[in-house]
Chain A
Amino acid sequence: MKQLKWNTVVVIVFLGTASLVMMTPFVIMVTTSLKTAAEINSPTLQIFPHKAMFSNYLKAMSTGNWGRWFFNSIFVTVVVTGVSLLLNSMAGYAFARLDFRWRTPLFFSMMVGLMIPPQITMIPSFLIMKHIPLAGGNDLFGLGGTGWIDTYPGLMVNHLAGAFGVFLSRQYYLSFPRALDEAAEIDGCSKWRTYFQVYLPLSKPLLAALGVIKLTGTWNDYVWPLIITNSEKMRTVQLALTVFKDGVIQWELLMAATTVVTLPLIIIFLFTQRYFIHGLITSGVKG
């Protein structure tokens, strides 16, 4: 018994140290955001500020159009998450339950997308957005204008569905009992009604898991907004942060802005951990 307790103490001390190391950057981020410039430039190490300068946050948020940038990020994240949940789960349901000729080849052709890093397709995706017909001054053939570059559709449309979401939804629905479909069919439900009124209400764990993953991915995305936007007013918060650091860096303000950008997700994560981890695991176990 004593042996066991001793082991547990060692493990807890080890994990405690490790989690301290893991958390240190976040602690530094917050403490730096509350320091004065003088404290930051002082040659001796002091982790905590003498007096917490909450005014740094106001100052950081008033340098630049943060209201607009937050609106952009929230709007894009909400729309992309909501629409992708519907489209992906609907396709997943069809691939899992409906019987149509090209089902298998279509499904496998879509799964190719799981292996392609988005960085490989960023150039053509940009070009396609630029040449969307009749958008942004383009003619019928997609020439002459800027298409969806620097617009909300440009920021969102290519993220509204994806191989990963479809795959996960299909796997989820495959585990549903066939009797469910038979019952719905006997009741005279069309396939659409079966999806909306039987399957969708039973999909909360799936939607929660997919939702938090999509939400984080969209909020945190940097590469696509970097490529597709060019005006100041279309920036997302991640992009705004990188612009913030150009020129002479005022660390206390940059850390304050970084904290504000990071905090919403950390809070969401703390409350939705369960779904988060569930989503990651289902994607991981099934490969």
Chain B
Amino acid sequence: MHHKKHRYRHSLDGYLMILPSYLIYFIFVFIPIIITIYLGFTNYDSYKTLDWVGLRNYFRLFQDPVFLISARNTVVYSICVIVPQIVIGLVMAVFLNQEMAGRGFFRVSFYIPNVTSMVAISMVWLWIYDPTVGFLNQVLKLVGITRQKWLFDLDLAMPSIIIMSIWKLIGYNMIIYLAGLQQIPRELYEAATVDGASSVTQFFKITIPLLRPTTFFLFVIACVQSFSVFEQVNVMTQGGPMNATTTIVHQIYERAFTNFQMGYASAMAVFLLVVTITLTMLNFRYGSQASESEIG
């Protein structure tokens, strides 16, 4: 057999063209992952101390009451934010997928919260939730409900942050769903109408199954994002009151940049990394099985 060696035709140009972006990626994403894993085994304090401490940070992690609270808060936040943002996004998209007056306006008004920075939105919601003269308390007063302390209330602080986050995230889900809806052939609905299926039946029997890849994509993204929630927490409550809203990333930030326990904070980051990757892999496994069984 004739042995033919594959010659790569553009080696130099190819490497040179990817070099700048690969270098930035390598230095600021790839290497940092490795450094995080390494620092997680040390007691680095960002000055002098840098000793190998083995698994001690990880033992500490699972006995640290504040970290355990933050992990619980993160899970609560994730569960309460992921499902509503996807469901409401889907419903909005289905309604907006038909020709009607004002469609463009509706689409923009649902999407604008997503374009606005989390900081700006946090400022506005701080005002809405203000315990003395805030908008929400004033509206509730009209219907005779007494003033609440919202972000300063142990039980209401996390729900307040959750509601505001759902409000911000709906638009993104809606836009992606709208794109998914455009891919569904109209004939399917026409045929179903001829067969006498109601629009509710069509929604459950055609729309939802055919949107499964979109839902799956949104679910994966939402998992990764909500497990790393930080900005609104740091701006609105700094994790308070009494750690009621602290999250894993908020703890990482506090430990690393306020207490300078960079080794310990890195162990938290590794924990989060493992959780994120596990979730993503579970999602892929479960998600792909689900869509296969649907098609096959």
Q: Which residues of A contact B (CB under 8 A)?
A: 8, 11-12, 14-16, 18-19, 22-23, 25-26, 28-29, 32, 40-45, 87-88, 90-91, 93-95, 98-101, 103, 106, 109-110, 112-113, 115-117, 119-128, 157-158, 160-163, 165-166, 190-192, 195, 216, 219-220, 222-223, 226-227, 238-239, 241-242, 245, 249, 251, 254-255, 258, 261-262, 265-266, 269-270, 273, 276-277, 280-281, 284-285, 287
Contact = CB atoms under 8 A, between A and B. Distances in A.
Most buried by B among A112, A122, A273: A122
A232 B98 CA distance: 50
Contacts of B8: 99-101
B127 interface: yes
Contacts of B214: 284-285
Contact of B280 (A18, A115, A222, A284): A115
Given A101-B8, A122-B256, 13 more contacts: A18-B92, A40-B133, A45-B139, A90-B20, A91-B20, A117-B224, A223-B230, A239-B119, A249-B126, A255-B127, A262-B117, A265-B115, A284-B217
Contacts of A23: 109, 112
A242 B236 CA distance: 9
B29 to A, nearest CB: 5
Contacts of B127: 28-29, 32, 251, 254-255
Interface string B90-102: 0010011010111
Contact of A98 (B10, B113, B170, B269): B10
A68 to B, nearest CB: 18
The 8 closest A-B pairs by CB, nearest first: A100-B14, A161-B21, A220-B117, A124-B32, A121-B32, A124-B35, A94-B17, A158-B28
12 contacts: A25-B125, A44-B138, A99-B10, A113-B30, A116-B276, A117-B276, A120-B36, A123-B266, A195-B17, A223-B230, A280-B176, A284-B175
Most buried by B among A110, A119, A258: A119
B179 A284 contact: yes
Interface string B190-234: 000000000000000000000001100110000011011011001
A87 B21 contact: yes
A61 B184 CA distance: 50
B295 interface: no
B135 interface: yes
B81 interface: no
Interface residues of B, number: 96
Contacts of A112: 29-30
A120 B269 contact: yes
Most buried by A among B21, B257, B277: B21
Most buried by B among A126, A161, A269: A161
Contacts of A287: 213, 217
Contact of A163 (B25, B39, B116, B118): B25
Most buried by A among B127, B224, B252, B257: B127
